[in-house]
Amino acid sequence: MQTVDIRGLYDEDPRPTFVVDCDDQPAGIYHVNSALLDLPHLALSLHAHNALRDWWDPSSRVASRHQQEFRHGRYRWAKFTACQRWLIITLIEQPPQTEEPKGHLQQSSQLARVASPLHPHAETIFTVKIQSPELREHIERLQKVDWGRTSLGPIAGWSYELNLLVTTLMLETRPTAIFLGFDHIIVYNLAYGAVSGSRHPAILGQSILDAWPEVADPVSTTMERSQQTRFADTPEKEYHFMIERNGFVEESFFMWSLISLVGVGQINGMYSIVTEVTKQRLLERRVNALLRFGQLSSEAVDAKAFWKSIREAIYPSEYDFPAAVLYSHCEVETTGSAVTYSKTTSRNCSLEWTIGYRVNHPDIPQKLDLEQDLPLGRAIAGSAKKGVATLYRHEDGRLPSTLFTDVEKRGFGDPCKAMLIIPVRTSNETITGYIIVGLNTRRPYDTEYQDWIEVFSNLLGTSAASVALHEEEVRNRKRQEEEAARDREALSAEVAVLAQEASDVTEKLSNFYQLANAVGLGYFEFAISGELVHANEAFFHQTGHPRDLSNSRPFAFLEHVYGPDRELATEHWRMSASGKSTTYEMRWKKKPNADTGSEDDTRDYLWTLTACVPIKTEDGIVTGIFGCNTDISGQKEATRIALLRVEAERRLASFTQTAPVGFYQCDSDLKIQYCNDQWFNIVGHPITDISAIDWTSRIYQDDLEAVTIDSHIVMQVNKLHTFSFRVKKLWTGPDDLSTPTWVLATATAHRDKDGQVVSVMGTLTDVSQLKWAEAIQRSRVEEALESKRQQENFIDMTSHEMRNPLSAMVQCADSISSALAEMEAAINDNALTTQPSLQTKIKDLVGTSIDAIDTIQACATHQKRIVDDILTLSKLDSKLLVISPITVQPDALLQDSYKMFKEEANKARVSLRVHSDASLKDLQIDYAILDPSRVLQVLINLLTNAIKFTRTQPVRKVGVIMSATREPAGRSGIEYVPQKALSQDFLDEQEWGSGEVFYLHFTVTDTGCGLTTEQKNKLFLRFSQASPKTHVQYGGSGLGLFISRELTEMQGGGIGVQSTQGVGSIFSFYVKSRSAAPGRRNSTTFNLPSRAKSHIIQDKQPMLLETATPPLPSPKYHILVVEDNLINQRVLCNQLKKIGCTVQVANHGREALAELAKTKYWKQPAISEPHDLSVVLMDVEMPVMDGMTCARKIRSLQESGDITGHVPIIAVSANARREQIEQAKGAGMDDAISKPFRIPELLNVIDTLLSGNAGGGNVRRG
């Protein structure tokens, strides 16, 4: 292999491959083969620092480096080692290289149909004049991208919605991007480019999977789930990136959010907001490092332990301290097991430890003389002279190069680029050591980094001073013990003299005893055998020794010595017994069982300074021990409390200066006595002397009175009080609007023993962001509620205004039809045989009138169809339209459609043929489970349009073909509308049975005028028609085919068209169904649309519209008509009177009550001969008093007894929604009928209502 050129070996490999030379330090790409160079975008990305490089780099320390295969974005790589030197990386999986996915063409076609075209004069971000040069440059860069190669297409072809979306994106100040199309093409704003580093602007117009391959898998999963469910929950997720910006690779943290684009036409994409949280994450990591050091250093009691605690504290911080060296700059003294500082002017340093360097590193000596001319010594000496942390970079050459390069792979595995030398100072004069640390190789040494190093340096000095103080205390204690020993020796000498002169100074000794008791000095005398011979009351009080000395036991006093000091007392007893005087500190138990109490809790023991003098004979033989105890507990406790107070004050001061909360303290006059820097920042007050602070001047004027009231509350109550107010300092929100800053304040008053306020303490927190968010949320809720209310008002208004005139039209048609029927009957009876000319004229008049009736009813039917379409659309938008499956025969469904349109086709002279394909028999489908009303609703719309557009053509043929398939494959040549994503398969529900799944197809062909390509693109859109001429000739709401599309998709199917202008059209749709076992056939008229029902009736009664309506039987009802529309009122009354009913009228609810008072229902009628009353026809919408109010009033009068019996009331309204009908019944209506209606339908409702009440005695009939 030594003679084989590795480049030539792999250059012929058809797989994209590159070779890495592992002998290079650092390892680099040695060769890229031709197959990989043919993918330029991929080859160029190899040199970027990303997750792929971390995987193949031999010096990398990431967990993924051990994997043999690695997915990066849409590509999967594999690696292996050759000849123990070459690392071969090969691409083993890449996305298929196709021209363009079929879905892209369908998606572009769909966007062309559903997106509003851009108006020639509409302004977008590409046409308006932009003031900002940076934004203008970004827009120009955006325009230079070749969008034609993407799924979005050229900018000139972008829709209005897409232009509006991009314009909004460009004006957004936060880093924001949108991912559009099937391939998630990225478009981003100027702020997003800033956080993208060196990837900007290359990633503009790329797929997100290529632009950010590190997050390809999680982002793809999130986008797919969001697109499927549209409103999927997509929480923010944090990513750790290595981004090349500012000239080097930076460690960065980002929060990504993905929001599905809903409601923006049919644009398929995601909206992403990126928030950089690098500072927060670095702050958390660095603060944890400081806390760890503070905890470990607090446990150190001497210098060696302190140096060790530093290493243990910074070793886990491998990213921020990839390398470290510690030299101690002091001479040490060894006292027992303790190592202590000693102040010295020596410039010798000793190596304590290293992190990240090998043992015996040539440039890190064990001993370092700062006076020698060595690079490391000169650098440390310079840092000592400055007294602060000093920065040294590799390129400076001031430190040995091996300190930067010859390091272990810690952190990111990079060689160090910069180092700091930090002096460890206990005071301004004393330096005890130096720490040399390598800086984070992927973070700039910015202000935050410098501040953290400064805090770390200060913490080092504080901790070192604490250790030095402890050692100083040890030395002081040693000196005190030496002094006490000297004092004891002197005391022993004095005691000896006093013993020799005891006989002469008895009186003086008695005085001494009295003085000792007075000052609490406990004296004692023990025999050499350990029995207490004599002691004063203070001794017994201090030690707890029994006062009865008759049964004194040897060394019984040791039982009262505090456990840890018992050995000390025994040792000093031996010394005294040997003839030496001693002085020492010891503790006596306050309680019998207080041997294991806290060392810091003086409640368990009593500190005494004990002095012991041996009692000797003239021969020098020790016969006893005399001594005294001095209570020093107060001094010990005071020392301990003082140290605790100093530490607590230090911690509190550190916390108040670093916390993001403003702390303050006021006197009883609410004048500031103390506040931290954050208080000035939140309030916006200039930093000044405490005495010059005027906090009331910073309060927003409108809130000053409220703050004054809250201040009085704080002074009055004995608990924490919380309130909020605004200050004059301006706060700028995400919407770039500036408002006064909102502050949340807490305060509590501190009182003296008399209950008087002596001070007020509290905190201030900036809550402007929260207040802004609450206002935005409240505004959006109000907007949503207002939008819902306006939509319901629109539906109600449309229904009311379109149905009201229909009632008069239909009833007029009935009246004319009835009159003409009588005239025709008279003619047929030869009543006018004597006048043949008159007879002919009357027959012509009858024919003309019948034609007019057909016209009126056709118009009414057409107008009602518009209303039905709008109501159906409303149900679709509100998700209220449901599919109700029943078992039917498909052939019967086809025949029903034929019967509906047979007469209409004959009138239009159109040949109508229906045919069932053999595929149903081949699949053995006789019965099926589906919703016949929804299937017929689609078929009716298609047949109506087919007959409508064929009736004026020379050739008039319309055909319907029904077929079935196992798969949803459509008819060849038909352009089907792309389906929306379905949630779950509705056939899985129990009501659909368990038969085999199949697809039922219906194809409607006609020889009509046909459609152009532009007309076909608009055909299935909401409120859209193929041509404006269509509306002029035939009318229509523009909703029929849109509703048909929605209904087919609800049933798991689709709809499409094939058409040629001037030749004709073929419409085809299919629905998903299951086969069913034979059973009782349900009527296909069940729950059919109104048009379907009327046509079925026509087929069974073919003379219904061909001849006049026969006279209805005379029910002779007494009816009260309450109607404010005079036309409807007059027509309805005439119709009712014509069939023999007695009618009373009222224009509104108040007149209705007056008329009701004249009937037999009223307990005390207003007239002597009250009328009968069978039923009240009550309009709902009326002036003065509406129908709902009137009905409630009638029911109230029934309950009070003013009305006897139950008054039947039928609501008559143009509002036909289920909720409105339920509201009418809830107000007291017995039943309801919606306009328009025919007299037979009304009589049917009246008969049903009154027959139900026939058992009661309050029903009035004529």
Degrees, nearest 5: CA angle 705-710-715 = 125
Q: Categorize the per-residue pLDDT at 1093 as very low, low, confident or very high, splitting at 50, 70 and 90.
A: very low
Q: pLDDT at residue 339 above 60?
A: no
The pLDDT tens digits of the residues spanning 166-203 come to: 888 888 888 998 888 877 889 999 888 888 877 888 88
Distance, CA of 210 to CA of 94 (rounded, Å): 12
Please check whether residue 872 lies inside any domain of the structure. Answer: no
908 & 1026 share domain: yes
- Percent share of the chain, pLDDT over 70: 78
Q: Which pLDDT does position 1178 carry in this prediction? A: 94
Q: pLDDT at residue 1256 above 50?
A: no
Please check whether residue 1052 lies inside any domain of the structure. Answer: yes
Range with lowest mean pLDDT among 59-73, 399-413, 801-815: 801-815
Q: pLDDT at residue 1017 above 80?
A: no
- Residue 878 token pair: 């509100």
Mean pLDDT of 723-740: 89
Q: pLDDT at residue 346 above 80?
A: no
Question: Which of the given ranges, 100-109, 999-1008, 1074-1083, has the highest pLDDT on average?
Answer: 999-1008
The pLDDT tens digits of the residues spanning 421-437 come to: 999 888 666 888 899 99
Q: Which pLDDT does position 462 carry in this prediction? A: 83
Q: pLDDT at residue 459 above 80?
A: yes
The CATH number covering residue 262 comes to 3.30.450.20
Distance, CA of 744 to CA of 767 (rounded, Å): 6
Q: Categorize the per-residue pLDDT at 742 as very low, low, confident or very high, splitting at 50, 70 and 90.
A: very high
The pLDDT tens digits of the residues spanning 224-241 come to: 676 666 555 566 778 787
The pLDDT tens digits of the residues spanning 262-307 come to: 655 567 778 888 888 888 888 888 888 888 888 888 888 888 888 9
Mean pLDDT of 648-659: 75
**Is residue 1097 a contact partner of residue 1132, using CB atoms and an 8 Å limit?**
no
Mean pLDDT of 775-797: 77
Residue at which a domain ends, from 476, 500, 534: 476
Please check whether residue 1105 lies inside any domain of the structure. Answer: no
Distance, CA of 739 to CA of 770 (rounded, Å): 13
Which are the contacts of 359, defined by CB distance < 8 A and separation ≥ 6? none
Q: Which pLDDT does position 1032 carry in this prediction? A: 34
312 & 264 share domain: no
Which are the contacts of 206, defined by CB distance < 8 A and separation ≥ 6? 41, 185, 186
563 & 683 share domain: no
Range of the domain at 672: 650-775
Residue 337 DSSP label: T
- Residue 440 token pair: 């984070």
Please check whether residue 496 lies inside any domain of the structure. Answer: no
What is the C-alpha R_g of the chain?
50
Q: Which pLDDT does position 1084 carry in this prediction? A: 40
Q: Categorize the per-residue pLDDT at 1102 as very low, low, confident or very high, splitting at 50, 70 and 90.
A: very low
b/e map of 462-487 (b: 16 or more CB within 10 Å)?
ebbbbbbeebeeeeeeeeeeeebbee
Distance, CA of 817 to CA of 854 (rounded, Å): 10
755 & 890 share domain: no
Q: pLDDT at residue 1245 above 80?
A: yes
The kind and range of the H/E element at 595 are none
Distance, CA of 974 to CA of 658 (rounded, Å): 71
Distance, CA of 115 to CA of 159 (rounded, Å): 6
Residue at which a domain ends, from 58, 74, 93: 93
Q: Categorize the per-residue pLDDT at 725 as very low, low, confident or very high, splitting at 50, 70 and 90.
A: very high
Q: pLDDT at residue 812 above 60?
A: yes
1028 & 889 share domain: yes
CA distances from 996 to 838, 884, 889, 1071 (A): 68, 18, 15, 14
The CATH number covering residue 462 comes to 3.30.450.40
Q: Which pLDDT does position 837 carry in this prediction? A: 66
Q: pLDDT at residue 1028 above 50?
A: no
Distance, CA of 840 to CA of 359 (rounded, Å): 129
Burial of residue 626 (CB within 10 Å: 0-12, 13-18, 19+) is buried
Q: pLDDT at residue 729 above 50?
A: yes
b/e map of 448-459 (b: 16 or more CB within 10 Å)?
ebeebbeebbeb
929 & 1047 share domain: yes
Q: Which pLDDT does position 1088 carry in this prediction? A: 43
378 & 450 share domain: yes
Distance, CA of 1061 to CA of 1032 (rounded, Å): 19
Mean pLDDT of 462-476: 82
41 & 158 share domain: no
Decide which of 281 and 502 is more confident.
281
Please check whether residue 857 lies inside any domain of the structure. Answer: no
1066 & 1131 share domain: no
Which are the contacts of 25, defined by CB distance < 8 A and separation ≥ 6? 59
Q: Which pLDDT does position 370 carry in this prediction? A: 84
Mean pLDDT of 1160-1181: 91
Please check whether residue 724 lies inside any domain of the structure. Answer: yes
The kind and range of the H/E element at 706 are helix 704-716
CA distances from 227 to 78, 218, 238, 274 (A): 32, 14, 21, 20
Residue at which a domain ends, from 93, 111, 145: 93
First to last CA, the chain: 117
State the pairing for strand pair 911-916/957-965. parallel
Q: Which pLDDT does position 276 carry in this prediction? A: 84
Q: Categorize the per-residue pLDDT at 718 as very low, low, confident or very high, splitting at 50, 70 and 90.
A: confident
Mean pLDDT of 18-28: 79
Range with lowest mean pLDDT among 22-26, 498-502, 663-667, 973-977: 498-502
Question: Which of the given ranges, 332-336, 1049-1053, 1188-1192, 1256-1260, has the highest pLDDT on average?
Answer: 1188-1192
Q: pLDDT at residue 942 above 70?
A: yes
Name the β-bridge partners of 79. 89
What is the maximal distance between C-alpha atoms in the chain? 183
Q: pLDDT at residue 701 above 70?
A: yes
**Is residue 249 a contact partner of residue 412, using CB atoms and an 8 Å limit?**
no
The CATH number covering residue 1035 comes to 3.30.565.10
- Residue 591 token pair: 């309680």
Range with lowest mean pLDDT among 570-574, 724-728, 977-981, 1060-1064: 977-981
The CATH number covering residue 74 comes to 3.30.450
Residue 254's φ and ψ, nearest 5 degrees, are -130, 145
**What SS3 state is found at 1193?**
helix
Q: Which pLDDT does position 506 carry in this prediction? A: 57
Distance, CA of 1067 to CA of 1087 (rounded, Å): 25
The CATH number covering residue 1219 comes to 3.40.50.2300
Amino acid at 387: G
699 & 557 share domain: no
- How many structural domains are present in the chain? 7
Please check whether residue 757 lies inside any domain of the structure. Answer: yes
Q: Which pLDDT does position 236 carry in this prediction? A: 74
**What SS3 state is found at 345?**
coil
The kind and range of the H/E element at 390 are strand 390-393
Decide which of 972 and 828 is more confident.
972
Q: Which pLDDT does position 31 carry in this prediction? A: 84
Mean pLDDT of 497-516: 63
Mean pLDDT of 785-810: 67
The pLDDT tens digits of the residues spanning 859-902 come to: 666 666 667 777 777 777 766 677 888 899 999 889 988 988 88
Cis peptide before 686 (omega within 30 of 0): no
Q: Categorize the per-residue pLDDT at 1216 as very low, low, confident or very high, splitting at 50, 70 and 90.
A: low
Mean pLDDT of 1141-1159: 93
Amino acid at 550: S
Please check whether residue 794 lies inside any domain of the structure. Answer: no
- Residue 1173 token pair: 């009353």
Cis peptide before 1113 (omega within 30 of 0): no
- Residue 483 token pair: 């002094």
716 & 657 share domain: yes
CA distances from 631 to 165, 429, 514 (A): 84, 39, 17
Q: Categorize the per-residue pLDDT at 582 as very low, low, confident or very high, splitting at 50, 70 and 90.
A: very high
b/e map of 494-516 (b: 16 or more CB within 10 Å)?
ebeebeeeeeeeeeeeeeebeeb
Sheet holding 622-631, edge to edge: 532-535, 522-527, 622-631, 605-616, 582-589
Mean of per-residue pLDDT scores for the chain: 79
Q: Categorize the per-residue pLDDT at 330 as very low, low, confident or very high, splitting at 50, 70 and 90.
A: low
The pLDDT tens digits of the residues spanning 314-323 come to: 888 888 899 9
313 & 433 share domain: yes
